[in-house]
Amino acid sequence: MKTDAVHAVFNWADHNRYTIASVLVFILTMGIVVNLSGCESATSGLVAAADGTATKVSRSEFQRQALVGEKDFAIKRIELDGLAATFNAEVKAFNERIQAGLDDLARQDEFKQQLLDTIGSVAIGATDGTLNPMALVPIGIGLLGGALGLGTSADNRRKDKVITDLKVAAMTT
């Protein structure tokens, strides 16, 4: 029998493989959830890149572009006073793009909030409708406990099968 530490660790890991697997799956799942809820909303920018393609921008950059665009249109209005009809058409199109962008950002924010509300309602049960981000910590601990329970249960079933197989082998010899 080997008594070195590496062999002992591998032996323990083999003995508790489903528990370890359930913890790893739990960590991966929580990483995905945190990544989804932490992503900043983005939409197509109002200003095209140097190569002419639209770029994805955050809310603050989108609002900055909107402010820069509104300022540029104010200057253009002074210069193009005689061409009021053309200017009004440009402003209308610009405002529609701003509204479309804001609607897109609102839709993305609503989806993220629905995702957080769903996770909270499944994990917590009946709540009063508010979701505190700090409430995710006990949810995570509860889910970790559930994952450990599932892994331990699977390990126990595997160990019972090994014992049964050893008993059957002993009876046949």
β-strand partners of 42: 58
Residues 6+ apart with CB under 8 A from 45: 54, 55, 56, 57, 61, 62, 65
20 assigned to some structural domain: no
162 assigned to some structural domain: no
Q: For the ranges 47-51, 77-81, 127-131, 167-171, which has the lowest average pLDDT?
A: 127-131
116 assigned to some structural domain: yes
50 assigned to some structural domain: yes
73 assigned to some structural domain: yes
Q: For the ranges 7-21, 36-50, 136-150, which has the lowest average pLDDT?
A: 136-150
Quote the domain boundaries for residue 126.
42-130
Task: Give the model confidence (pLDDT) of 91-148 as tens digits.
Answer: 888 898 888 888 877 877 776 776 566 565 655 554 455 555 565 566 667 667 767 7
Helices (H), the chain: 5-15, 17-38, 59-79, 84-124, 136-172
51 assigned to some structural domain: yes
Is pLDDT at 1 greater than 70 in this prediction? no
105 assigned to some structural domain: yes
Domain count, the chain: 1
pLDDT the model gives residue 139: 65
For residue 122, the number of C-alpha atoms closer than 13 Å in the C-beta half-sphere is 8
Task: Tell me how many degrees the CA angle 70-74-77 measures, rounded to the nearest 5.
Answer: 135
163 assigned to some structural domain: no
The predicted model scores a pTM of 0.35
